[in-house]
């Protein structure tokens, strides 16, 4: 449709943007093989010793495990609550829909540092709720800003699904749960996968809110931050990040294929 | 729905008003003094300076005691104090400007030094220093001490600097780095104490209005010369390695790390003298793993670990028996890090302490630390 | 159905925000560091009358605006190519290429930029190779602008892409049939329809910049709103009331921003 010149220049621009997005990631991977523990360019020499060191690093491992746990639990909570909110909103089409969306989007729309200290003062200084930092305080923080991701995906999917389907199901005598289980759920299942993956990604990489809710525990990003401070084990950080990038290629690709209508929050 | 939404907000506000936040300061009833160590709990949460929990002595500690160590690096003494007050941590490597605050806030437990076998070998000055011992009660066990140094790039900075003035002159404009820490005002005061005797600065932590203003003005003039106010050891290491900075205020840890990586750096104590730190391991009054904390202090007080840490960080051990091991680990290191230094050298360092209104000379017109913090925000902006 | 999610948000989030906002009207005792529950406007007074805090707030907001505009400019042609020019397979690849950086550590990516921008970093090394003069952006506002724009770019690309992809081809054909030139079609059809996507993306780029304190610490050399808040929470004074009071600055800015974004249809395009 577009003129050839336009298409070519758009293509060139796209290529440049991809380079811009990926150059730092490539650099991280290159530095993972740096033989020196101090990072300068070009790298001092090639070495795989950091892979060995990172693999045997207990702190890195337990941080990774904690991050995986927190991400998994927060994702499950977000799935349940996000789906509930989305089905309610789309089924009943009540007029407070905008208000619900607004409330759910608030935790990611407000600056992370605000969410962080709000949760921090709430957990720390609140004798009624008295929650001391644990896996659960991390999970609560993460789930709060992950709900909206699932919600948006599911709402988008339901919007495109004809209401006649659920109406037919109800007319045929199915109760609310049966309708959800046999009609709605199959329709939204891929949207849930996409929502879950994005929710997990948000949780897994979160550091600003987590700093205020984690107490003495180290999630992976907090471990990384500690190492940036220390300035001595940076190649190990690169190894871990390299590992994470490699491990996530597959789920991200799968998510993209499963859910052609979902984006960061949704695609259609 | 709009009304309903508003009602929710109202309910939330009500809930908020009901749960009146308690303050961050611990309760008045202090726990008892630690007089013996019990069974280890299997875990230990530490707040430490960068380089104080290196795997070289942490791994064998965990193996010997079963205490799994988790450590968090405090960015400043301020942060360490606040983190300790959360009650999430068992022990902290507090510098002199944090330790007294922790004692006064009843955040740390008293400890009988007899619990630590190596205590008897400590240098006399660090057995009961005023920053961790109040009215004869010990609230922690000294660890190591050292000066804040002037680090420079040996290739780019010639001749070798001899004065802190190099950080305030435009000769190395845009190549200077200093810590992002309000206590830096003391470094300026120390320099002014020697270069502007008319101000009458006796102690860089006890500054009256005029002295304080002069120090802050000096730092404001320094502002455009500074490439980066380093917030962590890692920042400064990067800066020197990359050539972003060629001269700066530093800890020996950075110099050691850079030297190991074969970077052309060196450090020294300028002729005006130096500020410094004397660190103490203190156990939280809310510690969940007090026995592991005691085991940890025992461990880091042994001559071997004292020597390892001294060499790794580049500071001076409290344990006099460490000297011989230091020389065994790295020839000449004991003398290099003043392991055998005299009391005179110890006294020449102006150790970090918390600025208070009380000037220590009967007057109470000095700037307290809140003022220091405000001034620092202004200096940096 | 709506009960549990609303209860969750109310208990853990709105209540927390309310506590925060209320505590902004308290103060701490300078001597003991204890919270005083007497109502006071001291904190707001300090913020309103201190040029330092003004400067920090304006610097932060200005940066958020600059980053948002930059990301919009970078993202639009990219998203356009992705949505309307690229063949399906290429589109999948591009999609994965945009999503993957989001999964890899935010900290590591910021740090990588520090290594790139350093005096002896990869950028100067490359500039020297092609005979260009070296830059010294490390630890300046320029560095922060580059890094912020980089870090939040995917958050702009994805909603813009979604909005562009939704435009039916028939709209564009109709515009052409009615005699609209390329530029007119672009201006009168494509841009208005992409606007909700741009607005949605800008919520992210704007608010994420506004609330970040780690990027300024790692690649900058000046305080942002987040740094001041962080320091007051974790500093000696543990001055939560002041932190809370200062946190109302980004809170108000975002409230205004969200209202504007909602008018542009951003919520539908999130």
**Contact status of B369 with chain C (Cβ, < 8 Å):** yes
pLDDT (tens digit per residue) in A49-90: 888 888 888 888 889 999 999 999 999 999 999 999 888 887
The minimum CA-CA distance between A212 and chain C, rounded to whole Å, is: 9
Is the model's pLDDT at A262 over the cut of 70? no
Query: Phi and psi (nearest 5°) for B87?
Result: 75, 10
For residue C189, tell me if it sits in a domain: yes
For residue C25, tell me if it sits in a domain: no
**Contact status of A124 with chain B (Cβ, < 8 Å):** yes
Average pLDDT over residues B179-190: 93
* Confidence band of B119 (pLDDT split at 50, 70, 90): very high
Beta strands at B149-153 and B226-230: parallel, antiparallel or unpaired: unpaired
Helical ranges in A44-184 per DSSP H: 49-55, 58-92, 97-109, 112-124, 135-160, 163-171, 176-179
The span from the CA of B240 to the CA of B59, in Å, is 30
Going A104 to A108 to A113 to A114, the CA torsion angle's sign is negative
Q: Between chains, do A263 and C158 touch, taking CB under 8 Å as contact?
A: yes
The span from the CA of A18 to the CA of A7, in Å, is 16
Question: B68 to chain A: which residues are within 8 Å by CB?
Answer: 58
B255 and B287 in a single domain? The answer is no
Question: C222 to chain B: which residues are within 8 Å by CB?
Answer: 380-381
Is the model's pLDDT at B10 over the cut of 90? no
The span from the CA of C148 to the CA of B274, in Å, is 38
Q: Between chains, do C221 and B227 touch, taking CB under 8 Å as contact?
A: yes
For residue B5, tell me if it sits in a domain: no
Q: Between chains, do C30 and B368 touch, taking CB under 8 Å as contact?
A: yes
For residue B374, tell me if it sits in a domain: yes
pLDDT (tens digit per residue) in C249-259: 998 998 899 88
Range of weakest confidence among A109-113, B237-241, C199-203, C222-226: A109-113
Is the model's pLDDT at A263 over the cut of 60? no
Cβ atoms B370, C30 nearer than 8 A = yes
B253 and B232 in a single domain? The answer is yes
Is the model's pLDDT at A11 over the cut of 90? yes
Question: C169 to chain A: which residues are within 8 Å by CB?
Answer: 1
Q: Between chains, do C125 and A112 touch, taking CB under 8 Å as contact?
A: no
Question: B45 to chain A: which residues are within 8 Å by CB?
Answer: 216
* Confidence band of B295 (pLDDT split at 50, 70, 90): very high
Is the model's pLDDT at C142 over the cut of 70? yes
For residue B75, tell me if it sits in a domain: yes
Cβ atoms B284, B109 nearer than 8 A = yes
pLDDT (tens digit per residue) in C183-230: 788 888 888 888 988 998 898 899 889 988 899 999 999 999 999 888
- For residue A171, give both structure tokens: 């007319």
Beta strands at B275-283 and B350-351: parallel, antiparallel or unpaired: parallel
DSSP state letter for A183: I
Question: B263 to chain A: which residues are within 8 Å by CB?
Answer: 38
Range of weakest confidence among A29-43, B184-198, B255-269: A29-43
Q: Between chains, do B24 and A226 touch, taking CB under 8 Å as contact?
A: no
B61 and B117 in a single domain? The answer is yes
Average pLDDT over residues C57-85: 95
B206 and B343 in a single domain? The answer is no
Q: At what angle do helices C191-211 and C225-234 cross, to 10 degrees?
A: 30
Q: Between chains, do B78 and C234 touch, taking CB under 8 Å as contact?
A: yes
Q: Between chains, do A39 and B232 touch, taking CB under 8 Å as contact?
A: no
Query: Residue C30: what pLDDT?
Result: 61
Is the model's pLDDT at B11 over the cut of 70? no
For residue C83, the chain A residue with the least C-alpha distance is A267
B110 and B199 in a single domain? The answer is no
ipTM: 0.86
Cβ contacts from A onto C, under 8 A:
279
Is residue A46 helix, strand or coil? strand
Cβ atoms B329, B307 nearer than 8 A = yes
Average pLDDT over residues C30-38: 67
For residue C51, tell me if it sits in a domain: yes
Q: pTM for the full model?
A: 0.86
Shortest CB distance from C211 goes to which of A208, A255, A267? A208
**Which of B153-162, C8-17, C117-126 has the highest average model confidence (pLDDT)?**
B153-162
Shortest CB distance from B4 goes to which of A36, A39, A96? A96
Range of weakest confidence among A235-249, C27-41, C131-145: C27-41
**Contact status of A6 with chain B (Cβ, < 8 Å):** no
Average pLDDT over residues B301-328: 92
B185 and B132 in a single domain? The answer is no
B242 and B369 in a single domain? The answer is yes
Strand partners, B145: B278, B316
- With pLDDT > 70 as the criterion, what percentage of chain A qualifies? 88
pLDDT (tens digit per residue) in B87-117: 889 999 999 888 888 898 888 999 999 999 9
Q: Between chains, do B23 and C33 touch, taking CB under 8 Å as contact?
A: yes
Cβ atoms C267, A98 nearer than 8 A = yes
Shortest CB distance from B21 goes to which of A37, A96, A121? A121
Indicate which of B79, B86, B236 best probes the interface with A, i.e. most A CBs within 10 Å of its own CB. B86
* Confidence band of A129 (pLDDT split at 50, 70, 90): low
For residue B164, tell me if it sits in a domain: yes
The minimum CA-CA distance between A37 and chain B, rounded to whole Å, is: 7
The minimum CA-CA distance between C48 and chain A, rounded to whole Å, is: 19
Interface chains of chain C (3 or more CB pairs under 8 Å): A, B
Query: Residue B5: what pLDDT?
Result: 46
Query: Residue A126: what pLDDT?
Result: 58
Cβ atoms B151, B265 nearer than 8 A = yes
Question: A80 to chain C: which residues are within 8 Å by CB?
Answer: 4
- With pLDDT > 90 as the criterion, what percentage of chain B qualifies? 57
- Domain at C169, CATH number: 1.10.3720.10
Q: Between chains, do C136 and B174 touch, taking CB under 8 Å as contact?
A: yes
Number of Cβ within 10 Å of residue C62's Cβ equals 12
The span from the CA of C193 to the CA of C73, in Å, is 16
Indicate which of A38, A123, A218, A238 best probes the interface with B, i.e. most B CBs within 10 Å of its own CB. A38
- Distance from the first to the final alpha carbon of chain C: 22
B294 and B340 in a single domain? The answer is yes
Query: Residue B16: what pLDDT?
Result: 39
Q: At what angle do helices A135-160 and A58-92 cross, to 10 degrees?
A: 40
Shortest CB distance from C107 goes to which of A100, A108, A224? A224
Contacts of residue B20, defined as CB under 8 A and 6 or more positions apart, other chains included, come to C37
Q: What is the mean pLDDT of chain A?
A: 81
For residue B12, tell me if it sits in a domain: no
For residue A40, the chain B residue with the least C-alpha distance is B242
Is the model's pLDDT at A190 over the cut of 70? yes
Q: Which domain holds residue B251?
A: 149-273+354-380
Range of weakest confidence among A146-150, A151-155, B274-278, B296-300: A151-155
Question: B23 to chain C: which residues are within 8 Å by CB?
Answer: 28, 33-35
Within 13 Å and on the Cβ side, how many CA atoms surround C97?
20
Average pLDDT over residues C236-242: 74
The span from the CA of A119 to the CA of A121, in Å, is 6
Is the model's pLDDT at C136 over the cut of 60? yes
For residue B55, the chain A residue with the least C-alpha distance is A57
Greater confidence (C265 vs B330) lies with B330
**Contact status of B24 with chain C (Cβ, < 8 Å):** yes
The minimum CA-CA distance between C231 and chain B, rounded to whole Å, is: 8
DSSP state letter for A34: B
Please give the angle made by the CA atoms of A170, A174 and A177, to the nearest 5 degrees. Answer: 105
* Confidence band of A205 (pLDDT split at 50, 70, 90): confident
For residue B241, the chain A residue with the least C-alpha distance is A40
The minimum CA-CA distance between A65 and chain C, rounded to whole Å, is: 16
How many separate domains does chain C show?
1
Average pLDDT over residues A142-163: 82
**Contact status of B105 with chain C (Cβ, < 8 Å):** yes
How many separate domains does chain B show?
2
* Confidence band of C37 (pLDDT split at 50, 70, 90): confident
Burial class (CB in 10 A: 0-12, 13-18, 19+), A176: middle
Q: Which domain holds residue C242?
A: 47-269
Question: A218 to chain B: which residues are within 8 Å by CB?
Answer: 70, 72
B269 and B301 in a single domain? The answer is no
Question: C92 to chain A: which residues are within 8 Å by CB?
Answer: 253, 256-257
The span from the CA of C224 to the CA of C67, in Å, is 14
Bond preceding residue A174 cis, omega within 30 of 0: no
Q: Between chains, do A256 and C95 touch, taking CB under 8 Å as contact?
A: yes
Average pLDDT over residues B36-51: 89
Range of weakest confidence among A263-267, B156-160, B236-240, C221-225: A263-267
Q: Between chains, do B25 and C139 touch, taking CB under 8 Å as contact?
A: no
Is residue A210 helix, strand or coil? helix
Query: Residue B176: what pLDDT?
Result: 96
For residue B361, tell me if it sits in a domain: yes
Range of weakest confidence among B152-166, B251-265, B338-352: B338-352
For residue B83, tell me if it sits in a domain: yes
**Contact status of B29 with chain C (Cβ, < 8 Å):** no
For residue B360, tell me if it sits in a domain: yes
| DSSP output for chain C | --HHHHHHIIIIIIHHHHHHHHHTT-EE-TTT--EE-S---HHHHHHHH-HHHHHHHHHHHHHHHHHHHHHHHHHHHHHHIIIIIS-HHHHHHHHHHHHHHHHS-HHHHHHHHHHHHSTTSHHHHHHHHTTPPPP--TTSHHHHHHHHHHHHHHHHHHHHHHHHHHS-HHHHHHHHHTT--HHHHIIIIIHHHHHHHHHHHHHHHHHHHHH--HHHHHH-SS--HHHHHHHHHHSTT--HHHHHHHHHHHHHHHHHHHHHHHHTTHHHH-
- Domain at B120, CATH number: 3.40.190.10
Question: B242 to chain C: which residues are within 8 Å by CB?
Answer: 118-121, 138
Spell out the domains of chain A, with CATH numbers in brackets.
Answer: 51-258 (1.10.3720.10)
pLDDT (tens digit per residue) in A211-229: 888 877 889 999 888 888 8
Cβ atoms C227, C212 nearer than 8 A = no
Query: Residue A226: what pLDDT?
Result: 87
The minimum CA-CA distance between A15 and chain C, rounded to whole Å, is: 9
Q: Between chains, do C100 and A248 touch, taking CB under 8 Å as contact?
A: yes
Strand partners, B249: B150
Range of weakest confidence among A105-109, B145-149, C83-87: A105-109
Shortest CB distance from B233 goes to which of A99, A128, A229? A229
Q: Between chains, do A2 and C85 touch, taking CB under 8 Å as contact?
A: yes
Query: Residue C224: what pLDDT?
Result: 93
Beta strands at C27-28 and C35-36: parallel, antiparallel or unpaired: antiparallel
């Amino acid at each position: 449709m577009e003129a050839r010149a336009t298409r070519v220049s758009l293509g060139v621009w796209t290529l440049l943007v991809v380079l811009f997005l990926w150059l730092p990631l490539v650099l991280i991977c290159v530095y993972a093989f740096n033989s020196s523990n101090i990072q300068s360019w070009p790298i001092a020499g090639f070495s795989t010793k950091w892979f060995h060191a990172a693999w045997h690093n207990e702190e890195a491992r337990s941080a990774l495990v904690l991050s995986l746990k927190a991400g998994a639990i927060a994702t499950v909570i977000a799935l349940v609550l996000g789906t509930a909110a989305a089905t309610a909103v789309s089924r009943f089409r009540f007029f407070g829909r905008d208000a619900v969306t607004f409330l759910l989007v608030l935790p990611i729309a407000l600056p992370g540092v605000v969410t962080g200290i709000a949760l921090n003062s709430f957990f720390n200084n609140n004798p009624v709720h008295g929650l001391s930092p644990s896996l659960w305080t991390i999970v609560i923080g993460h789930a709060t800003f992950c709900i909206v991701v699932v919600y948006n995906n599911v709402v988008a999917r339901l919007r495109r699904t004809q209401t006649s389907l659920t109406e037919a199901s109800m007319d045929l005598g199915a109760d609310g749960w049966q309708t959800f289980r046999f009609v709605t759920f199959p329709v939204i299942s891929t949207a849930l996968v996409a929502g879950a993956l994005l929710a997990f990604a948000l949780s897994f990489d979160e550091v600003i809110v987590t700093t205020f809710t984690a107490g003495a525990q180290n999630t992976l990003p907090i471990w990384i931050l500690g190492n940036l401070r220390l300035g001595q084990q940076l190649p190990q950080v690169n190894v871990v990040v390299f590992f994470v990038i490699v491990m996530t290629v597959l789920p991200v690709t799968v998510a993209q294929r499963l859910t052609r209508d979902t984006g960061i929050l949704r695609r259609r | 729905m709009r009304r309903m939404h508003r009602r929710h907000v109202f309910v939330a506000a009500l809930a908020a008003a009901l749960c009146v936040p308690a303050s961050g300061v611990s309760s008045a009833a202090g726990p008892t003094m630690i007089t013996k160590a019990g069974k280890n709990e299997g875990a230990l949460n530490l707040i430490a300076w960068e380089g104080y929990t290196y795997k070289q002595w942490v791994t064998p500690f965990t193996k010997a005691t079963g205490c799994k160590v988790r450590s968090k690096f405090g960015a400043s003494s301020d942060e360490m104090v606040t983190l300790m007050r959360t009650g999430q941590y068992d022990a902290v490597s507090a510098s002199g400007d944090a330790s007294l605050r922790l004692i006064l806030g009843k955040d740390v437990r008293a400890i009988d030094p007899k619990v630590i076998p190596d205590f008897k070998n400590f240098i006399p000055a660090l057995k009961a220093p005023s920053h961790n011992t109040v009215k004869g009660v010990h609230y922690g066990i000294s660890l190591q001490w050292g000066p804040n140094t002037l680090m420079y790039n040996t290739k780019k900075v010639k001749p070798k600097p001899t004065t802190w003035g190099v950080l305030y002159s435009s000769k190395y404009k845009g190549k200077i780095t200093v810590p992002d820490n309000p206590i830096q005002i003391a470094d300026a005061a120390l320099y002014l104490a020697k270069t502007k005797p008319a101000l009458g600065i006796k102690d860089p932590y006890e500054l009256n209005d005029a002295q304080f203003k002069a120090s802050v003005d000096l730092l404001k003039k320094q502002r455009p010369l500074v490439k980066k106010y380093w917030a962590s050891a890692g920042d400064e290491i990067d800066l020197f390695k990359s050539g972003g900075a060629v001269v700066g205020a530093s800890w020996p840890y950075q110099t050691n790390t850079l030297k190991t990586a074969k970077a052309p750096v060196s450090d020294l104590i300028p002729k005006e003298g130096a500020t410094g730190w004397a660190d103490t391991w203190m156990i939280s009054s809310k510690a969940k793993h007090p026995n592991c904390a005691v085991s940890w202090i025992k461990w880091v007080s042994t001559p071997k670990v004292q020597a390892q840490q001294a060499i790794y960080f580049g500071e001076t051990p409290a344990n006099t028996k460490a000297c011989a091991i230091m020389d065994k680990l790295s020839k000449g290191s004991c003398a290099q890090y003043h392991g055998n230094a005299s009391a005179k050298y110890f006294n020449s360092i102006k150790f970090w302490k918390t600025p208070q209104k009380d000037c220590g000379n009967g007057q109470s017109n000095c700037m307290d630390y809140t003022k220091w913090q405000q001034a620092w925000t202004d200096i940096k902006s | 159905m709506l009960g549990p999610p609303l209860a969750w948000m109310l208990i853990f989030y709105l209540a927390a925000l309310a506590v925060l906002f209320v505590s902004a009207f308290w103060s701490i005792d300078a001597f003991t560091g204890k919270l005083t529950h007497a109502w006071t406007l001291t904190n707001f007074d300090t913020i309103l009358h201190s040029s330092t805090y003004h400067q920090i707030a304006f610097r932060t907001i200005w940066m958020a605006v600059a980053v948002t505009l930059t990301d919009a400019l970078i993202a639009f042609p990219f998203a356009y190519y992705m949505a309307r020019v690229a063949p399906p397979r290429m589109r999948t690849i591009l999609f994965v290429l945009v999503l993957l950086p989001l999964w890899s550590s935010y900290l590591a990516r910021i740090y990588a930029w520090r290594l790139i921008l350093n005096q002896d970093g990869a950028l100067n090394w490359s500039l020297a190779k092609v005979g260009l003069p070296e830059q010294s952006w490390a630890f300046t506002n320029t560095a922060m602008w580059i890094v912020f724009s980089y870090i939040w770019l995917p958050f702009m690309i994805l909603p813009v892409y979604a909005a562009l992809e939704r435009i039916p081809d028939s709209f564009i054909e109709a515009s052409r049939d009615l005699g609209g030139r390329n530029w007119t079609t672009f201006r009168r059809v494509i841009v208005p329809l992409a606007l909700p996507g741009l607005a949605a993306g800008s919520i992210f780029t704007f608010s994420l910049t506004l609330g970040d304190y780690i990027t300024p610490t790692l690649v900058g050399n000046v305080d942002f709103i987040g740094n001041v808040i962080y320091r007051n929470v974790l500093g000696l004074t543990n001055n939560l009331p002041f932190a809370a009071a200062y946190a109302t600055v980004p809170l108000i800015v975002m409230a205004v921003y969200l209202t504007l974004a909602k008018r542009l249809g951003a919520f539908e395009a999130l």
